Amino acid sequence: MQHGYVDDKDALLKRLKRAEGQVRGIHKMVENDTYCIDILTQVSAATKALETVALQLLDDHLNHCVAQATREGGPVADEKLKEASAAIARLVR
């Protein structure tokens, strides 16, 4: 079975690399006693980068996995909808 994000995998990996670099940069900022507001600005940027990845994964999941399950119907469809709803709830907390 192919995951829904397969078509966006390269873009997702690129975004994750960028977020990883941002987190390393934040680590260095703390080590170097950088002004707290400047660190918070970078934390916000890293958070936004990860949120973008999460939203892309969610969109791919809905358009691929959930859509396929709903076409098939039955308990698998119900489970995929519950799973997607739970994922959305985690993202908005």
Q: Give the helix/strand (H/E) hosting 91.
A: helix 74-92
The length of the chain is: 93
What is the H or E stretch that residue 23 is in?
helix 9-31
Give residue-wise pLDDT tens across range 34-75: 999 999 999 999 999 999 999 999 999 999 999 999 999 999
Q: How far apart are CA 22 and CA 46, in angstroms?
A: 6
Closest C-alpha among 2, 11, 91, 80 to residue 47: 91
Distance of alpha carbon 81 from alpha carbon 79, whole angstroms: 5
Q: What's the pLDDT at 2?
A: 79
CA distance 4 to 55: 13
Q: How confident is the model over 3-23, as pLDDT tens digits?
A: 888 889 999 999 999 999 999
